[in-house]
Amino acid sequence: MKCNKSLFEKRIILVLFLVLPLAGAMKAYSQLPYLKKQGTATQLMADGKPFLIIGGELGNSSASSVEDIERIFPKLQRMGLNTVLVPAYWDLIEPVEGSFDFTLVDKVIRQARANELKVVFLWFGAWKNSMSCYAPLWFKKDDKKYPRASTKAGKPLEIASSFSGNVCRADNRAFGCFMERIAAVDGDGHTVVMVQIENEIGMLEDARDYSEAANASFNAPVPGALMDYLKKNKKTLHSWMAGKWGKQGYKTTGSWQEVFGDDVYTDEVFMAWSYAQYVEKLAQTARSIHRIPLFVNAAMNSRGRKPGEYPSAGPLAHLIDVWHCGAPSIDILAPDLYDKGFVDWVAQYRLHNNPLFIPEVRLSNNNGVQAFYVFGEHDAIGYSPFSIENGSDASDALTVQAYAKLRELMPLLAEYQGKGRMNGLHFDAENKERVLAYDDLRLVCRHYFTLPWDPRATDGSQWPEGGGIVLKLAKDEYIVAGSGIVVEFRKAGESELVEAKDLGEDGFVNAGGKVRKQESGWKGTSRAGIGPVDEVKVNVDGTLKYVRRLNGDQTHQGRHVRISVGEFGILHVRLYEYK
């Protein structure tokens, strides 16, 4: 790999000035960011400690000038982020073939440090949202040396072909020099905690590339490495892959169509193998230079679209086996979420063999509650709204409130991830209730607007998403945090009582309120009582700091705990039982 001379000069200067002894160098290396298992969770370790990415991704062009970077990064600190996801543009890094300019990369790292932020770089190399729009002009103009993908009809596309060795070598050379630069200027700083390779890789118009080289590969036998992987992991394959392979009788040799069938989804599997092998080459380069976590992101196969109508063959959940086999050096397959059905989408990517990281999600007032949900329910590594610089940095903005509370909660979340003592809550107008079970308790959790005295529940107001985290600290001791949620605590065997319907906030029956008939007699079992409910702050060591007691109207006189829509809070709840 040949990078420009100034890069090596800078590395030499750094070594001369730092003069790290061998032991110090080994210590610095050992503290590079890495992934570590804790129970069922995978945690990102930064500076030797578990680190949750409470982040935001910049818009595609928002880091393309020094002035924009200097203007935006202080705002991100005011918004409460601890991490920013930033594009690294191949066309600006290598504007002339073989000559590299890392001005923007250096500025990002310096500004991040100045504003107490970590960085996740996004390599906008050969592909960005399928297209080769961030490849340098010298690369684009030489379509003979750097060929394009083609449709079935033979139309060349603004998509570099993954079957070209020249394309991969050029992309990989620039990416390697980019990783060299990170190692040179951040080797001991650990500001950069992860790197994304390419961006929303995938084919459009058709499900696969129909160039001459692609067709030759498609008509050849399925590679033995993939067949060996499928056979070895047959019992744990993704259900979609197991079903597709199974329909063909689990054949272990043959062409792509013989093994997987003759349809557009076989084209997608074939193309995914090509993309994964391409990405693996870049991942191996990264590993040889600067060993920090690597991931790839996917545009969703949503809205009933077929491969080619969405970016076919990207790192989608149903293709996880192909990607794991073809690109084993990639740590995470990550979803970019812009469609409805947030809960269902994140569940597809929190798999036994894939931790959840959300590098892109639509910027909205619901981002805060979504972040609470994925950290509590799925032990997420991180959450990051797109175009974050366009959000508000006002102290009462919902995402700013949420991020402040999540940063407080990080010591507790990091301690309890993967231990089965934490759940996330997510509610909207269609999904209003969820019942959790802990020990002999049932926690009946609901959207805040299910409280009958809140007029917004019935006056036609749009129900914002409500979300939060329930964390069991000990028997009869819980943290309830988030926004727009209500939690009741009941013993598992507790019978339904005769209770007034339509109670007011003061606990008295509203005018015209009715009484439910008791379905069965009281069985004499214990009941769960709510003891002290305190609003708290979380100290950096995970201990709790008392703010105020909430045992009156704020708990409906001991009937539930709640956090209103429009505000974020952390409650420490202690229970007792009585007969």
Q: pLDDT value at position 515?
A: 53
Furthest CA-CA distance within the chain: 85
Percent of the chain's residues with pLDDT above 70? 90
Q: Which residue has the tokens 């992860």?
A: 194
Q: pLDDT value at position 7?
A: 43
Average pLDDT of 170-185? 98
What are the angstrom distances between the C-alpha of 536 and each of 152, 328, 471, 550?
Answer: 61, 43, 14, 11
Q: Which residue has the tokens 């060299």?
A: 180
Q: pTM for the full model?
A: 0.93
Nearest to 425 by CA among 448, 457, 452: 448
Q: pLDDT value at position 524?
A: 64
- Judged by DSSP in three states, 298 sits in strand
3-state helix, strand, coil in the chain (%, to 5): 35, 30, 40
Residue 54 in tokens: 């409470």
What's the rounded Cα separation, in Å, for the pair 478 and 458? Answer: 31
What's the rounded Cα separation, in Å, for the pair 369 and 445? Answer: 15
**pLDDT tens digit sequence for 83-134:** 999 999 999 999 999 999 999 999 999 999 999 999 999 999 999 999 999 9
What's the rounded Cα separation, in Å, for the pair 139 and 220? Answer: 29
What single-letter DSSP state applies at residue 102?
-
What are the angstrom distances between the C-alpha of 409 and each of 95, 141, 478, 537?
Answer: 44, 51, 13, 8
What's the rounded Cα separation, in Å, for the pair 105 and 70? Answer: 12
Q: pLDDT value at position 372?
A: 98
Length of the chain: 579
**pLDDT tens digit sequence for 418-465:** 999 999 999 999 999 999 999 999 999 999 999 988 888 888 888 999
Residue 356 in tokens: 């959840």
- Who contacts 564 (Cβ-Cβ below 8 Å, separation ≥6)? 448, 483, 484
For strand 118-128 and strand 83-89, is the pairing parallel, antiparallel, or unpaired?
parallel
Cβ pair 349, 302 in contact under 8 A: no
How open is the CA angle 5-7-8, to the nearest 5 degrees?
Answer: 70
What's the rounded Cα separation, in Å, for the pair 196 and 198? Answer: 6
Q: Which residue has the tokens 């073809």?
A: 326
Which residues partner with 471 through β-bridges?
422, 479
Q: Which residue has the tokens 């013989």?
A: 258
398 phi/psi in degrees, rounded to 5: -60, -45
Q: pLDDT value at position 512?
A: 54
Q: Is the pLDDT of residue 17 over 90?
A: no
Sheet holding 527-538, edge to edge: 422-427, 466-474, 477-483, 569-578, 527-538, 544-549
What phi-psi label fits residue 548: left (phi over 0), alpha (psi between -120 and 50 degrees) or beta?
Answer: beta
Residue 494 in tokens: 């507790």
- Binned at pLDDT 50, 70 and 90, residue 578 comes out as very high
- Who contacts 8 (Cβ-Cβ below 8 Å, separation ≥6)? none
200 phi/psi in degrees, rounded to 5: 45, 55
User: Among the listed ranges 55-59, 493-497, 547-551, which one has the minimum average pLDDT value?
Assistant: 493-497
Q: pLDDT value at position 6?
A: 45
Q: Is the pLDDT of residue 498 over 50?
A: no
110 phi/psi in degrees, rounded to 5: -65, -45
| Domains of the chain from N-terminus onward | 5-415 (3.20.20.80), 422-578 (2.60.220)
Nearest to 188 by CA among 9, 393, 366, 31: 31
